[in-house]
Structure 1
Amino acid sequence: MTNATAARPARKDLIKAFVASLSGTSLEWYDFAAYSVASALVFGQLFFPSHDPLSGTLLAFSTYAVGYVSRPLGGFVFGRLGDVLGRKQVLVITLLITGISTVLIGLLPTHSQVGALGAALLVVLRFAQGVGIGGEWGGAVLLSSEYGSEKHRGFWASAAQIGPPAGNLLANGVLAGLAAGLTSEQFMSWGWRVAFLLSAVLVIFGLWIRVKLEETPVFQEIQQKGEQAGAPVREVLTREPRALISGILSRVGPDVLYALFTVFVLTYATQQLDMPKSWAVTGVMLGSSLQLFGMPLAGALSDRFGRRRIYAIGAVGGLVWPFAFFPLVGGGSAGLLIIGVIVGLIWHALMYGPQAAFIAEQFSPELRATGSSLAYTLAGIIGGALAPLLFTSLYAYFDTWVAPACYLAATCVVTLVGLALSRTGAPAGSR
């Protein structure tokens, strides 16, 4: 049965679902982005002190990776619950997990206060952040997309995709404001903590929106017909393995591209090119601002021209752009750095905007939360989790930007393979 046969939700419910999906993912990516920026600028010194700044950064990025490695656990547990219990209940839990973990990071004692215990606690809380986000994405995508029609699914599903640039913009804005308004000593001492503690306000707002929202029409229909999967993880692996492989591979390139232009670029610009931190942060903020409009635009374009076509354009652009970006910024120009980051994030938007609808459409409705969550989280391990660490290590080992650029290009090829393996449209019987 399609959406056309079900009662169509009122437009106010569509908008409410869009806001609920956007607000929650924005909060969780604010938390994640704050950690990413702090890993590049603060955590290496405060939790992993070393005489070699590069070694401290590598260790800090290792804890960054923990947040990706833990995502499959969240995807496994909460994706399954999303198909069994419903999308809404799961999203309230994941919001609380990520929000509380982030507030606690803002209260952590540093290495100078408690030694290695501070780093250990940081890793534990980072792990919890990853679990929350691993369970969040699949449910958030379905919350907005299952309120809308198939015809406009790309646009409505993009609500969850706006979360990363919105959260990244908020996190970088808060940290940039704190860095500008405080001395270096104040920022390193307590200023960075404010960014993490502020997430408590966003948690309250996100919970208020989600608690008031009803379950999606699609899941209500599945419940009424008793079509919930009994063992959704097993059924995804046995019934729809190609869909899972396609979803995983398609996500690798966007994750790595995003890591380069929002995380590694901060370290590269400041440590290798001796540029002020504010230049790179400005580029990330402007690029993220454009993505707020670029994500839903790309989703809408995929409704008209096809998911794979728009996605593939972004993947090809992401493959080529690093070979232009690094030579452009090598001269130390602030303008070229900012433009380079913005263009990189435009290619990312063309992939990330249609991604939510693209992955959800690979799976049958009764397996959609589990399949989408597993594809999202498993891809994170081989994509975003290792990207900052590999970018830094490759540059350090080869002493040239060509190595990181080739790495990104290879991951975009992987994404193109995932697109080639995909279904061209929603599976039969999709709602």
Structure 2
Amino acid sequence: MGAHAAETAPAPTSARRAVASSFVGTAIEWYDFFIYGTAAALVLGPQFFPTDSDLASTLSAFATLAVGFIARPFGSVIMGHFGDRTGRKSMLVISLFVMGGATVGIGLLPNYDAIGAWAPVLLVLLRFVQGIGVGGEWGGAVLMATEHAPPGKAGLYGSAPQMGVPAGVLLANLVYLACTQSMSDEAFLAWGWRVPFLLSIVLIGVAMWIRLGVMESPEFEAVKAEEQVARIPIVEVLTKSWRTVLLAGGTFIATNGIAYVFMAYLLTYGTKELGFGRGTMLALLIAACPVWMLGMGVSAYWSDIVGRRKIYVGSTIGLLVVSAFFFTLIDTASVPVMLLAMMLLAFVLGCTVGPQSALFAELFPAHVRYSGASLGYQVGAILGGGIAPFMATWLYAEFGTSNAISVYFVLIALISLTCTLVLLRRPPSELAGRPADAAQPAAEPTAESAVPTGAVR
């Protein structure tokens, strides 16, 4: 990516281990984060927020889901600061410990019947700690992958941690499916829901072993060698690149928001409104996850060839179209049609985030890249996934139709599309980092030559 980094590029074996570490570690951390979303949809309401109203209980559980998103920018700022000053690797190890400890803590936490009001208070606190951990994870994982990438392959290498997200969803739902199918509903509600949280301690140990063997990012080593380490990285990002941070976050609102409705709220909708069993809805989501990963890989690969902008804009338009009629297909209550709808949405969701790692990294210079990329990502996560399951639940309760959720999807997709078009047409003087795709050969002149030379393609 950078010239100095190219001169000190790691051996292929080291680069492959960095990519594997990013994928496995991210999958484990997002497994931890997502099992909470699944639990919120299935059991946390009656366990920690018992009321006479199922709706109020569900809304309370999804509200605690948002707490993790509120915490994520704090994690991105704290770990971004030290990741830009002391290195990417150490922060990735710490984020695993933080996330794993909070997840196991939730699995051991007594419910409302056992300790009363302390139960929801402690649940919210542990969810906040989870948010801190995952907030610092994404930036470090994508930088370890993209900064180890050979010239012209930042998009492909950067898709590895992105693929860790649906891999985490897949793993979380496989574990929940095994639990729900192997025990009675009474046993699952009493103690079985805790099993996925407690299993995290084993998964964290595996990921830690892989991460400790990875070399530090060559671009960070170059920053240290050239004595360019920022004193307070987040201050530099916020004073020089705040518009870029906000626009980058805006590009992610729709993807993250629609994805969390897809992953969390749809389980509630399918069981309570359409009458399907938990196992059926979990199986549908599990079947869609590999297609999600396929979309990531395909779009990331092509972004290295044709440029980030074409892929990003085209994918966001595709997300807008598919999300507009997604619930119409789900409401048929036909399992084959629902599966088709979920696979189609999963694919376009994957396409929108495949090139994201490389794009966000390319927006900021190496000495503040951890802070800038992480903060942009978490801004989009708060405004997207942080409120989307709650909004979907409230909209359906208020209007009595999934059309209201579809309108919400279209609105946030339009916001993200607008941010994408503005961000990726800004001249290089307004971008904080080096031009995107700088390591790639110059493309043949096209109609897109109107984009200023050096701008994100």
Structure 1 and Structure 2 fold alike (TM over 0.5): yes
Q: What TM-score comes out, normalization by structure 1 length?
A: 0.97
- More moved, 289-298 vs 196-205: 289-298
Contact 2:162/2:353 (8 A) holds in 1: yes
Verify: 1:382 aligned to 2:388, yes or no: no
CA shift, 1:5, in A, is: 4.3
Q: Aligned partners of 2:178 and 2:9: how far apart in 1? A: 44
Q: Aligned partners of 1:81 and 1:4: how far apart in 2? A: 20
Contact 2:72/2:136 (8 A) holds in 1: yes
Contact 1:257/1:344 (8 A) holds in 2: no
Deviations 1:174-204 (A, max 9, x none): 0011100101111111111110011111111
Verify: 1:428 aligned to 2:429, yes or no: no
Contact 1:282/1:338 (8 A) holds in 2: no
Contact 1:98/1:129 (8 A) holds in 2: yes
Q: What TM-score comes out, normalization by structure 2 length?
A: 0.91
Secondary structure of the 1:421 match is helix
Tell me the amino acid that sits aligned with residue 434 of structure 2: A
Deviations 1:272-317 (A, max 9, x none): 1112222221121111122233322221111112212212222112
Q: Which residue of 2 aligns with 1:11?
A: 12
Contact 1:103/1:196 (8 A) holds in 2: yes
Verify: 1:46 aligned to 2:77, yes or no: no
Q: Aligned partners of 1:290 and 1:300: how far apart in 2? A: 15
Q: Aligned partners of 1:349 and 1:237: how far apart in 2? A: 29
Q: Aligned partners of 2:151 and 2:88: how far apart in 1? A: 18
Matching of residues 366-405 of structure 1 within 5 Å: 366-405=367-406
CA shift, 1:160, in A, is: 1.2
- More moved, 400-409 vs 120-129: 400-409
Q: Aligned partners of 1:422 and 1:9: how far apart in 2? A: 32
Matching of residues 86-165 of structure 1 within 5 Å: 86-165=87-166
Matching of residues 20-59 of structure 1 within 5 Å: 20-59=21-60
Contact 1:33/1:168 (8 A) holds in 2: yes
Deviations 1:322-369 (A, max 9, x none): 332222222321111122111111110011111111111111111110
Deviations 1:10-60 (A, max 9, x none): 111111000111111111110111110000001011111122111111000
Tell me the amino acid that sits aligned with residue 130 of structure 1: G
Secondary structure of the 1:321 match is helix
Matching of residues 185-200 of structure 1 within 5 Å: 185-200=186-201
Tell me the amino acid that sits aligned with residue 79 of structure 1: G
Verify: 1:361 aligned to 2:362, yes or no: yes
Q: Aligned partners of 1:293 and 1:347: how far apart in 2? A: 10
Q: Which residue of 1 aligns with 2:252?
A: 251
Q: Which residue of 1 aligns with 2:70?
A: 69
Q: Aligned partners of 1:366 and 1:410: how far apart in 2? A: 35
Q: 1:4 to 1:233 in 2, by over 3 A?
A: closer
Contact 1:78/1:135 (8 A) holds in 2: yes
- More moved, 275-284 vs 246-255: 275-284
Contact 1:394/1:404 (8 A) holds in 2: yes
CA shift, 1:101, in A, is: 0.5
Q: Aligned partners of 1:262 and 1:428: how far apart in 2? A: 35
Q: Which residue of 1 aligns with 2:334?
A: 333
Structure 1 unaligned segments of length 5 or more: list them. none
Q: Aligned partners of 2:217 and 2:339: how far apart in 1? A: 40
Contact 2:257/2:381 (8 A) holds in 1: no
Deviations 1:185-227 (A, max 9, x none): 1111111111001111111111111111111110001100101
Q: Aligned partners of 2:53 and 2:424: how far apart in 1? A: 49
Q: Aligned partners of 1:278 and 1:313: how far apart in 2? A: 34
Q: 1:119 to 1:66 in 2, by over 3 A?
A: same
CA shift, 1:150, in A, is: 4.1
Q: 1:4 to 1:236 in 2, by over 3 A?
A: closer
Q: Aligned partners of 2:356 and 2:21: how far apart in 1? A: 19
Secondary structure of the 2:355 match is helix
Q: 1:371 to 1:150 in 2, by over 3 A?
A: farther
Matching of residues 170-209 of structure 1 within 5 Å: 170-209=171-210
